[in-house]
Amino acid sequence: MVYPHEHVLVRFNGHFGTGATTAVDRWSCGLRFGLTGSAPIFDTGKLQTFVNACKAAADTMHIQAGVGAGTGTFFSQATAAQIGVLGKYSPSTQQTIFSGSSVVVGQGAPVQPWNTAHVISLRTANPRGRASNGRVYWPCLALIPDAATGRLTTAQVNGRIGSFKGFFDTLNTAANAYSPGMRLIVASNVGGGTYAPVTAIRADGRLDSIERRENDQPSVWTSQTLA
């Protein structure tokens, strides 16, 4: 199982808690950027510029009211590394590139548990199968579903997806500056692997549960003995 070419993996990292320095639990999201027919040329200086731009774009997006991340959801850091066809750092001596000089907090009173996210689907020109659809699970703690449907309203979804369109457009501009033609992709390493550039995004009204975002908190059980 291999990827067809080297590409750049960017991760966005944050935490849940009561303040910028109080991390009770953590969350992260990953995005891949590449060229569909070749590998980007590895350049640590340009990669630092790229990840700095990713951090700035995420800072802007995370604090928008329409995203509904919640006031207990903090975004603190972006990281990047160039990934080889085997899914490992390339070159192997590469160090992870960090950008995290500031911490920003989401908007809206948190009404959902910390494991709640709202998926943004990444669509490519592939109608189905490998590299046709990717998913981004950014925290969504402050949006309340419609009581009549149990789902977010059309206005809520439009607000959130509009924020992500601006976010991804900015990331694509920064990716192209790193390596001309590089942009957000959906990648598969099944078989010989394949890439496809993301051409559109979509979202519906369902909220999702990402249980691994509760890993730092032990379960606290309450039990009752039956008569």
Q: How confident is the model at residue 214 (pLDDT cuts 50, 70, 90)?
A: low
Instruction: Determine the Cα–Cα distance for residues 10 and 12; give it in Å rounded to an integer.
Output: 7
pLDDT digits (tens, 9 = 90+) for 119-178: 999 999 888 878 889 999 999 999 999 999 999 999 999 999 999 999 999 999 999 999
Tell me the backbone φ, ψ of residue 161, rounded to 5 degrees: -70, -30
Tell me the backbone φ, ψ of residue 117, rounded to 5 degrees: -140, 165
* CA 128 from centre of chain: 22
Name the one residue in this structure whose structure tokens are 């350049």. Answer: 43
Whole-model pTM: value is: 0.92
* CA 13 from centre of chain: 9
pLDDT attached to residue 225: 93
Would residue 150 be called left, alpha or beta, if left means φ above 0 and alpha means ψ between -120 and 50 degrees?
Answer: left
Would you call the peptide bond into 218 cis, given omega within 30 degrees of 0 as the criterion?
no
pLDDT attached to residue 217: 75
**Under 8 Å between Cβ of 78 and 97:** no
